[in-house]
């Protein structure tokens, strides 16, 4: 990174969206300062940097804030194009395909996953989980398409944009499996994604930034318990 570049990432350890930004920075070999935010007592810097949504992640580059994780990852890849391997494909069509599947992950997988924690009944939770499994089944085809049948990474032989977007959630995929006793990426149903999950976790960048799974399990249990208590009081 050039000497005049100053990067500061505002985040929270449990956020899959923050983790994908960390993954992008590590894959590019870009140094940065990380600031852990207390989301119940947000800093003045966070509130000033993201006054609309007041959420993490926010990347501050030379004093300028960049918001929303997918936008931040694309920004990192573009601004630091000379560092590390490209995250987005060079071909315009392949780049469009990657953006489609990245959006699919946020809209069809992670969005219902959030609703699982907010469900007030077991029936409601099961309905949101069903949507997640449907999304995973479709995403299996996305991995086959993006990897050109190789099934290694969404980026083909190497990690790409969709890998980074999905990779941010890897620790919580494992945590969810440990809590539920099931498999979100089941080798019998989605063999490509099951293999991807293990392969991604072995990457140096993943080992450097992914959350400890035991800590993710405890965090997830607390969220479930908090939601259950809220539902009981309604």
d(CA 163, CA 40): 30
Q: What was the pLDDT predicted at 225?
A: 82
d(CA 126, CA 119): 9
pLDDT tens digits in sequence order for the chain, 234 residues long: 444 689 999 999 999 999 999 999 999 999 999 999 999 999 999 999 999 999 999 999 999 999 999 999 999 999 999 998 999 999 999 999 999 999 999 999 999 999 988 888 889 989 999 999 999 999 999 999 998 877 689 999 899 999 999 999 999 999 999 998 999 999 999 999 999 999 999 999 999 999 999 999 999 999 888 776 665 666
Alpha-carbon Rg for the chain in angstroms = 18
Q: What was the pLDDT predicted at 229?
A: 67
- Annotate 47-58 with b (16+ C-beta within 10 A) or e (fewer): eebbeeeebbbb
Indicate the pTM of the whole model. Answer: 0.94
> Taking the mean position of all CA atoms in its chain, how far away is CA 14?
10
Q: What was the pLDDT predicted at 118?
A: 84
Q: How far is CA 195 from CA 126, 150, 152, 154, 161, in A?
A: 26, 12, 8, 12, 18
Q: What was the pLDDT predicted at 2?
A: 46
Nearest to 115 by CA among 69, 123, 162: 123
**Vertex 161, ends 129 and 73: CA angle to 5°?**
100
d(CA 76, CA 87): 9
In the chain the domains, ranked by start, together with CATH numbers, are: 7-80 (3.40.30.10), 92-230 (1.20.1050.10)
Q: How far is CA 229 from CA 32, 36, 115, 116, in A?
A: 39, 27, 16, 15
d(CA 207, CA 119): 32
């Amino acid at each position: 990174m050039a000497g005049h570049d100053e990067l500061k990432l505002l985040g929270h350890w449990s956020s899959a969206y923050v983790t994908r930004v960390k993954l992008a920075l590590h894959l590019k070999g870009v140094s940065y300062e990380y600031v852990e935010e207390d989301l119940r007592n947000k800093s003045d810097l966070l509130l000033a940097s993201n006054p609309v949504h007041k959420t993490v992640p926010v990347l501050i580059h030379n004093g300028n804030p960049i918001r929303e994780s997918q936008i931040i990852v694309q920004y990192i890849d573009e601004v630091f194009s000379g560092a590390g391997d490209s995250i987005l494909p060079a071909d315009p069509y392949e780049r469009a395909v990657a953006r489609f599947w990245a959006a699919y992950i946020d809209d069809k997988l992670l969005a219902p996953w959030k609703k699982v924690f907010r469900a007030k009944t077991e029936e409601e939770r099961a309905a949101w989980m069903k949507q997640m499994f449907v999304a995973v089944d479709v995403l299996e085809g996305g991995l086959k398409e993006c990897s050109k049948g190789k099934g290694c990474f969404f980026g083909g032989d190497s990690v790409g944009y969709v890998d980074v977007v999905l990779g941010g959630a890897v620790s919580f995929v494992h945590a969810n499996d440990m809590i539920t006793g099931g498999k979100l990426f089941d080798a019998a149903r989605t063999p490509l994604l099951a293999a991807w999950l293990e392969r991604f976790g072995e990457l140096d960048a993943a080992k450097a930034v992914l959350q400890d799974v035991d800590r993710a399990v405890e965090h997830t249990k607390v969220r479930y318990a908090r939601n259950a208590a809220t539902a009981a009081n309604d």
